[in-house]
Structure 1
Amino acid sequence: MQWREKDFSRPHIFDVWNEQGMQKKYLDKEVYFMEELIPGMLPANPELLYVQPEWDNDQRKTIQIMKQTGHHEATEALAPGLFHEMDSWTYPLHFIDFEAVLAAIPFHKGLYPYDYVPFQFSCHTMYEDGRVEHRADWIEETPGKLPSIMFVRKLKECLEGDEGTVFRYHNFENTVLNKMKDLIREREPEDAEELIAFIESLVKGGEREMVDQYEMIKKYYYSPVMKNSISIKKVLPAVLSESPKLQEIYSQPYSGLYLKNKVFYQPNPETGQAINPYELLNKVGYGIPDYDDSDKAIGEDSISEGGAAMMAWSRLQFNDLDKTQRDAILQSLYEYCELDTLAMVMIHQHWNFLKKN
C-alpha cells in the first residue's frame, strides 16, 4: 500500500485498545486502519452498546472504533452500571497510591533482588458533602532505613479511623500489600498480627477490599481523548477535557499538603483539550532555596511518572547529595504522588457530576 501523508494521522489498527499482539493477523490481511475493522464487527444496533450495564472487552473496543472513526459522536460514553457500583461505596472515600522500588541489587540487608520496597504513599479523602482533603503523603526520608513495615503502619494510621471505601488504580497496591504481609511474617515485629489483619482487610477477598478504579474505567467509561489507553495519565486529561464542572473547579488554584496554588485545568490553545496536569508539575528544585539547576540532583527535569519516582528515591540512598539536593528530590516526590491521588479524585468527581445529572 502506498501511504499518503494524511494516512499517517488516520486511526490505525495499532491504536485499538487491548489488541497487543493481534496486529499481525490484520497486517497479513492488509488491514491497516480502524475503519477497515468495522465491517463484520458492528452490532445490528450499535446504540445498544450505550445501555449495556457494563462492557466486555469487545464492546469497549467497538465503542472506541466507532467514536474514533466518526461513526458515533466523538464524546465520552458511560455504561449505566457504574452508578449502581457507586451506590455501594461507603463515605468517606479514600484514594491511595504507592511508590516502590524493585532494585536488582537491594539497598537493605536480608532482601533479594527485585523485592518490593514501598517507600511512599499518598491518600486523598472525599467526604459525602463533596469536600476533598489531602489526608496523607508519607515518604521514608532516612537513607538506608528499610521503609516497608513503617510504610504499612503509617498507611494503617491513615485509614483505620473509619470504614470508608478505599480505591486503588490497577493491581500494584494489592500486590505490594501482599508482599508486605510476607515480609511482616518473616520479620515478626511486635504489631505483626495487627498489621497483617489490616492488610488482609484491604486486599482481594478482604472485608474492606479496595475498589480498582482502573477496572471501573475499563468496564464503564470511555472518552475519545483517551484513545487506546486506560493509564491514569491519559484518563486524567480526558475527564478534564470532558467535564465543565472539573474545569470550573481546577481552573482555580489547588493546594494540598505539598502542591501549592497549582492551576490544573489549562486548555491547550491549539486543540482546546486540557493540558495533561502531569506536564504542569514543578521542576525538581522549584521553590527550594539555594537549589542550583546546573547541579542537578537527578537526571530528570521533573518527576512525573513512576519510573522516575523509583529512580529518585534510589538516588536518595547515596550519601553524595547535600541537603538542598535531598530537599529538592523529596519535594518533587511528594508533589508527584499527591497528583496521582488527586487524579483519582478528579475522575470520581466527574462521575459524581454525571450521576447527579
Structure 2
Amino acid sequence: MKQGSEKARYFTKHLFRAGLECPTKLFYKSQDYPENSKALPFIRHAVYNKKLLKSLVRSVHSEGVLVEGDSVRDSAARTGTYLMENRNITLFDPVFVHRRMMAKVPVLVKNGDQLTILHVQSKAFSSRKHQLLKPGGGIHSRWRKYLLDFAYQLYILKQEFPDFSLLPLLVLPDKSGAAHTDSLPALLNTSPGGSPSPAVPAPNQQLLAKLDVSTPVTMIWEDPSFAENHLPKRTFGESLGHLRDLYLQGTKVPPSTGYQCKGCEFNITDEQRSAGKKSGFRECWQPDSAASPDQKMNHVFELIGPGTRQLIEREVFYQHNINIDRQDIHSVASIAEDNGHITEKMRRALQIHKARGAEVPKEIMRASLRKELRRWQYPVHFLDFEAGNYAVPIRAGRPPYHLVVFQFSCHTLYKDGHWQHHQWIDRAENDYPNYELVRRLMQVPDINEGTIVQYSNFERNALKVIGRELRDEASMVPDSQWLLQWIDGVLRRNDSRHPNPPYLADLSRQVKHFYYNREMENSLSIKEVLQSVMSQSDFLKQKYSKPYSSQNFEHVIWWQADKDGKAKSPYAILKETGSDTVRRGAEAMFLYGKLIAGDLSMKEKSAYREALLRYCELDTLAMLMIVEHWKQQLNEVY
C-alpha cells in the first residue's frame, strides 16, 4: 500500500496516542517537525521486533490473504470486498477508513459474522505474573496505551462494519513461553508484503500471549470515568474526532508545559538544531528563542540526577534561576576541596554554577583514581560486548528478549605503552553466539593475566547469563565445563576498589566517583565522557591528530576540531568512515537483528558486519583513550 503522499490525509493510531499525550504534538506532527534523532535506533529496533512477532502470528495462517492496494482508499475498498464476498477468510494488513481516520491490523480472521482481530505489540508480557486489569476492574497503567491503540483500531473497524461481532486479541511476547526451534528469526518472513512462513513449527506459538481484551476495550469506549480521567472529551468517539480535527486542520493547541514534557520527542539534539532544524520543545518553552540554534537552553530537564520534578513544581524551569543558597547546592570550592566521591549532587551543582556563569574547575581527579589505577596489573584488557534482545529468540528453550551476545572488541594495553586489538563477531557459521563468544575470548592473548576493564557491569552480567545457560545445557555442550571454568574465574575477579587482584574493573564507576571536567553535562555514557576528555586533553589531541589504522580503520584522524574549536565526537567521525554506520548500542542491536533474519544479500551482510566491528572497536578505543589521558595527567608512566 503506497501511503507516503497521503500522510496528511489520514489520522492514525500513532497520532491518536500522541494527541492523548499532548495535543500540541499534533501540530508538530502535521508540520513535519523533526523528532529527537537519538530515539530513532530504539524505534527501529522496536519496529523490527514487531515485524518478527507479526510474522510468527501469521505463520499459523497459511491461508491468509495479503491486502494490497495502490492507496489507503483502495486498500480499504479491497478489505471491504474481501469481507463481504467471503464467509470465512483470513486477511493480512486489512485497512479500514472512517471519516479520514485510518486503521490497519496485522491479522483478521473472519468466521461467519465474527471477526477475530489480532493486534501485535512488542512489550513483554508474562502470562504467569501479569494482568491487564487491576483487582478492582480498572486498567493497569502499564498496559493502558497499548489498549488505547487497539481500541482505536477496533473503533474504526466497528464504525465501518457495525454488524460484525468482534473478538479482539492483543498479542504480546510471553516471557513465560519459550522457542521450540533454533534460529527461529531466520525462518520468519519479515519483508513488506511477505507471505506466511510455513516452515515454522506450530509449538513456537507458545512465545505469544493472545489475550481477549473485550472487557478493557469496552471500558475504554463506554466508561464515563475512564473518559473523564484519560480522554480529552466526554466520550471516546468525541475524543477521536477532536484530535483528528486538530491534526488535519493544523491547529496548534497552546502548550501546557510541565514535568510531563521531560521525554518529549520534539526536544531535538544540539546537532539537529545546529543543522537548522526546528525544535517543537523550544517553541513550547521559549517561543522567542526557538529560532536561535546556538543559544543554550539550560533547562532543568538537562540536570543530572533526581530532583527535577520538585523544581518544576516550584516553577523553576531554568538552571540559572535555581537558588544556589539552598543547603543542598554545593559550592564550587567545597566540591574542588573534597577528596571523597564526586556525588550526583555535586555534578548537579557544578552544572547549575556553570549555567549561572560561575567558573568551575577545568578538571577534578580524586586521589582514589590514582590509587585504583596503580592497582591494575598489566596487561590491561579493555573489553566491550555488543548484545541484543529480540522478541523472537534465536535458540530453542529461550524466552522472548533473551540476551544474545554477538560480538566483542578488546584493546590490550601492555606496560610499555603499546597495545593490540582483538575482536570477534558472530557470522552465523558456528555454534550459539553466546557460547562461541566465550571460546573466542579465551583465545585473546594474555586474557588470563592482568586486568580486564569494562564500562559498566554489562560484561560481567552478560557472562553470568551465559554461565547459567551453560549449566542448564551442560550435557548438550561438549566443552561446557571448560567454558564454565573460565567464566567462573573471570566472575571471581574483584572490581579494583578492592585491594586484592586480579580485577574485572569498572571504568564507568571510576568516572562517576572520581572524575569530572567542565565539558561534562548530564550524561556519563562513554560517548559523552570521551568527547569531554578529548576536549580537555592536549596529550590526546597530539596523539590522535595523527592517523589511526587497525583491522577496521585506515588512517582515521580521531581528534578533529568542531566549529567551537573543541574536540568533535569520535562517534560523529565514525559516521564518516562507512555508509552503514553504527553510533549507538540500539543501532547495533537492530543491524544484528537484520543479520540473523537471513533475508540480506552477502554484500549487505558484509557491510553490516563491518559497521558493527568499527563501532565496537571505537568503544574499547574510547576506554583506552580515557585511561591514557588520566595516566598523563597523573604523571603515571607506563
State the match for 2:589 in structure 1. Answer: 310
Match of 1:176 among 445, 454, 462: 462
State whether structure 2 residue 535 is matched by structure 1 residue 248: no
The one of 507, 516, 521 equivalent to 1:227 is 521
Q: 1:68 to 1:346 in 2, by over 3 A?
A: farther
CA distance in 2, matches of 1:274, 1:246: 10
The one-letter code matched in structure 2 to 1:24 is R
Closer/same/farther in 2, CA of residues 67 and 86 from structure 1, 3 Å limit: farther
Q: Is the 8 A contact 2:438 2:483 kept in 1?
A: yes
Relative distance call for 1:11 and 1:354 in structure 2 (3 A) is: same
Cα shift readout 1:274-311 (whole Å, capped 9, x = no counterpart): 1111111156865xxxxxxxxxxxxxx41111111111
The equivalent of 1:266 in structure 2 is 560
Contact 2:329–2:345 (Cα < 8 Å) also in 1: no
**1:95·1:168 contact (CA, 8 Å) conserved in 2?**
yes
Q: What TM-score results when the alignment is normalised by the length of structure 2?
A: 0.50
Shift of 1:179: 0.2
* Residues 51-109 of structure 1 deviation map (CA, whole Å, 9 limit, x = unaligned): 41432332333233334433233622222221111111111111000011211111222
Consecutive unaligned residues of structure 1, counting only runs of 5 or more, are 287-300
Query: Which protein is bigger by CA-based radius of gyration?
Result: 2
Residue 304 of structure 2 is matched in structure 1 by 17
Q: Distance in 2 between matches of 1:144 and 1:283?
A: 32
Deviation string for 1:91-145 (max 9, x for gaps)? 11110000112111112222221111101000001111221221x1101112685
User: Which of 328, 340, 346 lines up with 2:607 in the alignment?
Assistant: 328
SS at match of 2:427: coil
| Structure 2 CA distance for aligned equivalents of residues 260 and 44 of structure 1 | 46
Match of 1:58 in 2: 345
1:187 maps to what in 2?
473
Whether the 8 Å contact between 1:99 and 1:120 is mirrored in structure 2 is: yes
Which residue, 80, 83, 91 being the options, matches 2:378? 91
Q: Find the counterpart in structure 2 of residue 296 from structure 1.
A: none
* 1:124-170 C-alpha deviation (Å, 9 max, x unpaired): 01111221221x11011126852111111111221655421111011
Q: Quick one: which of 388, 401, 405 aligns to 1:101? A: 388
CA RMSD of aligned residues (A): 2.5
Q: CA deviation at 1:192?
A: 2.3
Aligned-pair identity in percent equals: 32
Match of 1:297 in 2: none
Worse-matched range after superposition: 180-189 or 341-350: 180-189
Partner of residue 277 from structure 1, selected from 567, 570, 579: 570
Q: Give 1:314 shift.
A: 1.5
Given that 1:108 and 1:145 are in contact with CA atoms closer than 8 Å, whether structure 2 keeps it comes out as: no
- The structure whose RCO (Cα within 8 Å, separation 6+) is larger is 1
Q: Secondary structure at the match of 2:385?
A: strand
| Cα 1:32–1:107 shift into 2, 3 Å | same
| Gap change, CA 1:273 and 1:195, over 3 Å in 2 | same
Q: Contact (CA 8 Å) 1:252, 1:263: kept in 2 or not?
A: yes
1:154 and 1:144 map into 2 onto residues whose CA distance is: 11
**Partner of 1:222: helix, strand, or coil?**
strand
Aligned pairs for 1:147-158 (under 5 A) are: 147-158=433-444
**Residues 92 and 125 of structure 1 are in contact (CA less than 8 Å); yes or no, is this contact kept in structure 2?**
yes
Query: Alignment length, in residue pairs?
Result: 339
TM-score with structure 1 setting the length? 0.87
